[in-house]
A = this chain, B = another copy of it.
């Protein structure tokens, strides 16, 4: 129906079991062009220029599908609600991509001694926070 839908997008959808719709194509193209770290609202505003009737719910649903397919990635895996921890000895986090659990890991296990040498844009580094993403024992099937 829509001649503008490219073969490569059809293949991408086929590979991930997604139907090829006009909204999905426009969303995908918009996000390919948006650099940085857009929020769903950012994407929504941008896509509305091409499909004024698109709904925010559709944007959310497709973003989640793209994340599940690995086409997109969440910048932070634990943005759901504020989480705090005591500010004590240096440690980092093991984050299970399946159950989203967070486990502390002592800095000593990481063997991270290197300091960033040159940081772009004059950024002044204070500390590292390392997330190790993977699967916890019970999510390894």
Query: When the two chains form their complex, are residues B127 and A133 in contact, meaning their CB atoms are under 8 A apart?
Result: yes
What band does the interface of chain A fall in when counting residues whose beta carbon is under 8 Å from B?
Answer: 35 or more
Within A82-131, which residues are at the interface with B (CB < 8 Å)? 82-87, 93-94, 96-97, 102-103, 105, 109-114, 116-131
What residues of B have a CB within 8 angstroms of the CB of A97 in the complex? Answer: 126
Query: When the two chains form their complex, are residues B102 and A85 in contact, meaning their CB atoms are under 8 A apart?
Result: no
What residues of B have a CB within 8 angstroms of the CB of A86 in the complex? Answer: 31-32, 35, 71-73
In angstroms, Cα B77 to Cα A33, docked, is 25
Q: Mark A13-42, 1 if CB is under 8 A from B, else 0.
A: 000000000000000000110011111110
In angstroms, Cα B76 to Cα A129, docked, is 9
